[in-house]
Amino acid sequence: WSVKNSEALYNFEGWGAPYFLLGEECDGRVVVRPAGVCEAEIDQVEVDLYAAATAVRERLGSSGPLLFRFPDIACSQSAKLHSAFQSAALTWGLNSLHRGVLPVKCCHDASLLLSLVLAGAREGFGLEAGSKAELILSSDYSLPTPFLICNGYKDGDYVGLAVQSAALRVNTFIVIEKPSDLQYYITAVGDLPRSAHRPFLGIRVRLTTGHSGHWGPTSGDNAKFGLCAKEMIWLVASLADESMLDCLRLLHFHVGSQVSNIATFKEAMRESTQMYAELVRLGAPMGFVDVGGGLGVEYHGSQGWGGQRSTNYDMQNYANDVVAALQDTIMRTGIKPPVLVTESGRAIVSAADVLIFEVVSTEPRGAMPSFDDDSFLLQNFQSILGSMTIINQSGQQNISKIQESLNDAIQFRQEADRLFKLGIMSLEGRAEAEELFSSIRSLALDFARTIPDTNIFPTEVSLFAVEPLTWCHANLSVFRSLPDAWAIRQLFPVAPLHRLSEEPSIIVSIADLTCDSDGRIDQFIGSSGSNANAGGSLLPLHPLRVNETYLVAAFLVGAYQDSLGSRGHNLFGSPPVANLFLSGSPFHCIAQARRKTRGADV
- At residue 534, the pLDDT reads 44
| Burial grade of 372 (CB within 10 A; 0-12, 13-18, 19 or more) | exposed
Q: What is the pLDDT of residues 340-354, one digit of tens each?
A: 999 999 999 999 999
Residue 531 pLDDT greater than 50, yes or no: no
Grade residue 367 by pLDDT with cuts at 50, 70 and 90.
very low
β-partners of residue 591 are: 580
For the chain, the average pLDDT equals 84
| Burial grade of 282 (CB within 10 A; 0-12, 13-18, 19 or more) | middle
Choice among 138-142, 169-173, 533-537 with the minimum mean pLDDT: 533-537
CA distance 270 to 272: 6
Q: Distance of CA 77 to CAs 276, 346, 439, 556, Å?
A: 28, 10, 47, 13
CB 179 within 8 A of CB 234: yes
Residue 533 pLDDT greater than 50, yes or no: no
Q: Helix H segments across 174-314?
A: 181-190, 229-241, 262-281
CA distance 563 to 558: 9
Is residue 250 classed as helix, strand or coil in its secondary structure? strand
Q: In order of start, what are the domains of the chain with their CATH numbers?
A: 1-33+35-69+353-365+470-602 (2.40.37.10), 86-344 (3.20.20.10), 366-465 (1.20.58)
| Burial grade of 519 (CB within 10 A; 0-12, 13-18, 19 or more) | buried
Q: Helix H segments across 199-261?
A: 229-241
- At residue 151, the pLDDT reads 95
- At residue 532, the pLDDT reads 35
The mean pLDDT of 120-131, rounded to a whole number, is 92
Q: What is the pLDDT of residues 33-58, one digit of tens each?
A: 988 875 555 557 889 999 999 999 99
Residue 202 pLDDT greater than 60, yes or no: yes
- At residue 588, the pLDDT reads 55
Residue 463 pLDDT greater than 70, yes or no: no
CA distance 326 to 268: 11
| Burial grade of 374 (CB within 10 A; 0-12, 13-18, 19 or more) | exposed
Q: How far from the centroid of its chain's Cα atoms is residue 573's Cα? A: 22
CB 523 within 8 A of CB 491: yes
Q: What is the pLDDT of residues 176-195, one digit of tens each?
A: 999 999 999 999 987 787 77
The mean pLDDT of 168-180, rounded to a whole number, is 91
Choice among 5-9, 52-56, 456-460, 563-567 with the minimum mean pLDDT: 456-460
CA distance 145 to 101: 11
Comparison of pLDDT for 462 and 24, the residue scoring more: 24
Comparison of pLDDT for 347 and 464, the residue scoring more: 347
- At residue 529, the pLDDT reads 40
Q: What is the pLDDT of residues 12-25, one digit of tens each?
A: 999 999 999 998 77
- Catalytic positions are 515
- Helices and strands in the chain: count of H runs, count of E runs: 19, 21
Looking at residue 130, the DSSP 8-state letter turns out to be -
Residue 107 pLDDT greater than 80, yes or no: yes
Which among 302, 321, 323 is positioned nearest to 312, based on CA atoms?
Answer: 302
Choice among 222-231, 254-263, 375-384, 463-472 with the minimum mean pLDDT: 463-472
CA distance 194 to 176: 21
- At residue 353, the pLDDT reads 96
